[in-house]
Amino acid sequence: MEAYGLKVPIGTVVSKHFETSNGYRLETRVMLLTNDGWRAYTYIWRSDQADADLNLTGATLAAPPGSGTTEPHIVPSETECFACHRTTNNHLLGVSLPQWDAAQRARFIQMGLLPASANAVGMPSSLADPGDMTATPEERAHGFLAANCSSCHRPDTGLAGFDLRATTPLANANIIGITANSGSLVGLPGASLVAPGDPNNSVFLHRAFNRDATRMPPAPALPAGVPLGPSPSIDGLEAVRAWISGL
């Protein structure tokens, strides 16, 4: 079976909840596979947390009091959801073998949701946690990049010409020593996507962790005067930096 692009039946529902560190619910995103294809819905939780209301046009939510942040939360419109949930990844991001560990796969096999081959020898191992210091820098970096970037950066999308899927070793991803087309955006014209041993001159690192309009994945559009949200995890940053430094 394929690691990505899992086939699911009509009526499948996938969802993801967003809440603050103190448990205040912000939104719930739902995708439903209908006879006419996938539909995306976002529900914004009411201030009393009793229920959530459907919103298809997108919204900017102010950070709630006591949340530990002052930055707004961006709710995507139905159309914006499909900027990442593409046909090329079967519209599913987290629903893939590399995102599940062996125990999760075994449970899905027992429930009849996956074939026994999902845990067979040769199937991709689960993604490493970028913060797991028992894993190698490459495993940690690959885990972060595959989880956050491979929905777009893969051979069948035509985007940037490199492949960050978990099933492609980083050595074969077409990023090491490859001149970036976007180096001038971060003040590094002619620089490589990944410059072996030199993270500060690797366009890849700057694009992935900048906090401005050059950031990848692209930051959502915000009202004038509202700053961008935080860069991806510090664990992810340090994992990618350590991997590049060791090349």
**pLDDT of 221 above 70:** no
More confident call, 123 vs 108: 108
**Quick one: three-class SS letters along 40-81?**
EEEEEECCCCCCEEEECCCEEECCCCCCCCCCCEEECCHHHH
- Number of neighbours of residue 2 by Cβ within 10 angstroms: 11
pLDDT of 242 above 80: yes
Residue 141 parent element (H or E): helix 137-149
Confidence of residue 223 (pLDDT cuts 50, 70, 90): very low
Q: For residues 155 and 172, is the Cβ–Cβ distance under 8 A? A: no
Q: Tell me: the pLDDT tens digits for 162-173?
A: 888 888 899 999
Asked if pLDDT for residue 36 goes beyond 80, the answer is yes
Average pLDDT estimate for 151-164: 77
Name the percent of the chain lying above pLDDT 90: 29
175 touches 184 (CB < 8 A): no
Q: Which of 33-47, 172-186, 207-221 has the weakest average pLDDT?
A: 207-221
Statement: residue 6 has pLDDT above 50: yes
Q: Where are the beta strands (DSSP E) in the chain?
A: 13-19, 25-34, 37-45, 52-55, 59-61, 73-75
